[in-house]
Amino acid sequence: MAHPSDRMYTKTHEWVQVKGAEATVGITQYAQEQLGDVVFVELPALGKQVAKGGVLGNIESVKAVSEVFTPVAGEVVAANGELEGHPELVNQDPYGKGWLVRLKAAGAAEGLMDAAAYQKFVAEETH
């Protein structure tokens, strides 16, 4: 699966899509494949302030529990409530319905990879 070019990516396999002052965060196709079947998603409370690289929450799969880190600093303004009853959306549509949180971004998305650089990074990591 191609990684959407309208997002930036982290080395810990999160994506961020910035529109104005709002940043939507999720995990990548590669990350959900590594996790396996997602059974529970723990997301932060609205209003929580997060620092760039800070823990946003946890994703529990049949294999393990993994922390999700934020690519940008900001305030949590929305959490994907659909994931409470349907955590499998993270597997089925990680770039769409499986988004995790929206942040009121505090600062730019710096030091992240574009889609092509992330694709290369994943290829190097898997070989």
pLDDT tens sequence across 40-57: 999 999 999 999 999 999
Q: Is the pLDDT of residue 77 over 90?
A: yes
Residue type at 71 in one-letter notation:
P
Residue 1: the pLDDT is: 57
Q: Which two tokens stand for residue 119?
A: 């694709």
Q: Please provide the CATH number assigned to the domain covering 8-125.
A: 2.40.50.100
Label residue 60 exposed, middle or buried (CB < 10 Å: 0-12, 13-18, 19+).
middle
pTM reported for the whole predicted model = 0.94
How far are the Cα atoms of 9, 81, 90 from residue 41, in angstroms, in the given order?
A: 20, 10, 9
Residue 127: the pLDDT is: 73
The mean per-residue pLDDT over the stretch 113-124 comes to 95
